[in-house]
Amino acid sequence: MSQEIEHVQCLIIGSGPAGYTAAIYASRADLKPVLYTGMEAGGQLTQTTEVDNFPGYPNGVTGPEMMEDLRKQAERFGTDIRFGYVSSVDFSSLPHKVVVDEVKTITADTVIISTGATAKWLGLPSEQQYNGFGVSACAVCDGFFFKGQDVAIVGAGDTAAEEATYLAKLCKKVYMLVRRDEFRASKAMVHRVLNTANIEVIYNTEAKEVLGNGKNVTGLRTINNQTGEETDLEVEGFFVAIGHKPNTEIFKGWLEMDETGYLKTIPGTTKTNVEGVFACGDVQDHYYRQAVTAAGSGCMAALDAERYLAAKEDEVKVSI
């Protein structure tokens, strides 16, 4: 029996602020987009409790509610939203070929990739138990909720150093756990951390368990990896800053990536190295990683796709 093949003008891979915004713009441009949500419909924000820094929500909103609003808006303009994941791609010729759920083949004139990035976690059961209730992987997103409180952060790179200094402006005390006896961060960032009065760096130390009362974080149990000595820190928040992993496995060999796996785009655009393939959101942004910047790049991707298709149409008319 032959496999079902469907052709679309615009295929969007991944949901979240980037994917849904791309869908809103693409559907309003009459590109009749089909969006596959991935296994986590709505992306990282579905794991976030309060979102206070996205424009248009004066009283704040929960991550899942915001994603539901974006999804409904995309559907209102005609986006065909489907639950499923893309298992492989073939960008060797036009139209592009994409396999969904390992069984269905879709050919697409344009592909917008918004598969995002996943925060790396320590792997502690208590870390996941209190995720969103005192445990966070984004200081810029959640630091405000810990104003005037004591918090801890784990990590030793530039991102961890930057987030620690950001938290220090809001929090009374920031404990920074560094696994080795030195930072991995640049000298400039280390200098900034060491010269911030309310950051206490604790070297050769790892998080052993997040402590809580069943509802919120109340402390953090740490262990010195040289002496084995355990210490309990009284903190209301715990930030994990050990990096993110872009969800780009299926694009390896097809699209250009940096050394950590983020998709490369032509500066000022969402164009990848493959004609008709665009990337937006955290899958190509390891620097800002905010919902609002992801949404903005989703808009850019849809506009880039629309202009690409219009140029192709003009080429056909001229050749005729």
Is residue 10 annotated as part of the catalytic site, yes or no? no
Is residue 138 annotated as part of the catalytic site, yes or no? yes
The full 3-state SS of 122-175, as one line of letters, equals CCCHHHHHCECCCEECCHHHHHHHHCCCEEEEECCCHHHHHHHHHHHHHCCEEE
Helices (H) and strands (E) in the chain, counts: 7, 19
C-alpha to C-alpha distance for 258 and 253, rounded to whole angstroms: 12
Q: Which of 10, 30, 109, 138 is catalytic?
A: 138
Q: Which of 10, 109, 141, 285 is catalytic?
A: 141
Tokens coding 57: 């929500």
Q: Which of 142, 150, 285, 304 is catalytic?
A: 142
C-alpha to C-alpha distance for 269 and 4, rounded to whole angstroms: 34
Is residue 141 annotated as part of the catalytic site, yes or no? yes
Query: 244-246 and 117-119 as β-strands: parallel, antiparallel, unpaired?
Result: antiparallel
Q: Residue 78: what residue type?
A: G
Residue pair 86/13 in contact by the 8 Å Cβ criterion: yes
Tokens coding 28: 């309003």
279: Cβ–Cβ under 8 A, 6 or more apart, which residues? 112, 113, 114, 255, 263, 265, 270, 272, 301
- Residues tagged active-site: 138, 141-142
